[in-house]
Amino acid sequence: MSEEPFAVFEPVLAQDLGPCWAKNFRDIDTDRPLGAASLAQVYRATLADGTPVALKIQRPGVRPVIEADIKLFNRATRILGRQAPRFNAVIDTHAMFGVISDVVRPELDLVLEARNMREAREQVAGYKHLRVPAVLSATPRTLVQTLAPGCSIADARRADFTQREREGICRDLLSFMYRSYFLTRTFHADPHPGNVLVHPGEPAHLIDWGVVSRIDRPLSTSILLVVLSLAQNGGAATAKAWIEMGHATPWAEITGFIEDMAALVPQVVTATLEELNFGVTLTSVLQHSTRRGIKTSPMISVLGGWPGSRSGSGPPTPAASTPAATWTRTASRSWTSSA
């Protein structure tokens, strides 16, 4: 998304913070935004008391545009369901889009993002190598948070970090994300590397908590069974766990799906973390299950990494790479091996 001049955002600040909003800040770097996305821009700023902060401002007029897009996609998926009933029996596109829109809508209210951040700060409190910035103030269209140090984990220089730091961050990222899936069942659903900031001598900071997914206990348990089955090289067990996340249609070819998984799973098990693309694996399972008449749970759509939600390219595909895999694979490729 292209950057907009700061002047475009000043009316939002005046409306949400009042006409004297500038008194709250000693300085704002209006020339170089820290980030520019489809819904907001973020600026480096200093509060009146000298505290360095990140100031996030929603793009003016974006809310009705997103709401109109959601309504359009909602109608389109209904039409698709009527035109392709057999496909819809295994991939309920309307239900999946409903799940996606429920997750995306909170992005339109930065007060809700602030709530997500506060919850996440509590969840990472026990991790040595992870932090979430503190919320200092929030309105529906503005968010002021403590400034996270460093750069994207993808841009970090391996030589600037000790081996212990690199391994510690990777280990905590993986632990935190799987804890989010299987214990708290609330997880960051936009895990591209730009949302993990690292700096030598500092914990990694997880930012941008607008898209947070929540799943229930049964789905969490089913996902765990799929992961354990994959790890134990169990093709039949993987097929069974996947079917239990949805259900078999009357015309399902269950034996064929088990054979598909028996061929796929050994390829996944033998891949290294650097080689493994969990998104591709998930896509393969989804393709096989669809072809074999296995209905997929609509909630599978919340498991994606969702880069499209930031680039303005539309809703994500259900089989995007999972957050844990995305963050951990990026860290592994960047700097876990010895310098």
Q: How many CB atoms lie within 10 A of CB 56?
A: 25
Average confidence (pLDDT) over 212-231: 88
Alpha-carbon span 296 to 21, nearest angstrom:
49
User: Which has more pLDDT, 1 or 89?
Assistant: 89
Prediction pTM value: 0.82
- Percentage of the residues of the chain whose pLDDT score is greater than 70: 86
89-94, long-range: CB < 8 A, 24+ apart: 89/249, 89/293, 89/295, 90/249, 90/289, 90/290, 90/293, 90/294, 90/295, 90/296, 91/290, 91/295, 91/296, 91/318, 92/295, 92/296, 92/298
Dihedrals phi, psi of 76, to nearest 5 degrees = -60, -40
Strand partners, 189: none
Query: What is the structure's pLDDT at 331?
Result: 54
Helical H segments across the chain, by residue range: 10-17, 62-83, 85-90, 93-104, 110-123, 163-179, 217-231, 235-245, 254-269, 278-291, 308-311, 323-331
The mean pLDDT of 156-165, rounded to a whole number, is: 93
* Residues 106, 212 contacting (CB under 8 angstroms): yes
Give pLDDT tens digits for 111-143: 999 999 999 999 999 999 999 999 999 999 999
Mean pLDDT, rounded, of the chain: 85
On the CB side of 25, CA atoms within 13 Å amount to: 21
* DSSP secondary structure letter of residue 181: I
User: What distance in Å separates the CA atoms of residue 61 and residue 63, rounded to the nearest whole number?
Assistant: 6
pLDDT digits (tens, 9 = 90+) for 314-338: 333 333 344 445 555 555 555 555 4
Beta carbons of 40 and 59 less than 8 angstroms apart: yes
DSSP assigned state of 180? I
For residue 316, give both structure tokens.
Answer: 């994500």
What pLDDT shows up at residue 230? 86
CA 217 – CA 224 distance, rounded (Å)? 10
> Does residue 195 register a pLDDT over 70?
yes
Question: Cβ–Cβ contacts within 10 Å for residue 273, how many?
Answer: 15
Confidence band (pLDDT; 50, 70, 90) for 306? very low
- The pLDDT assigned to 319 comes to 33
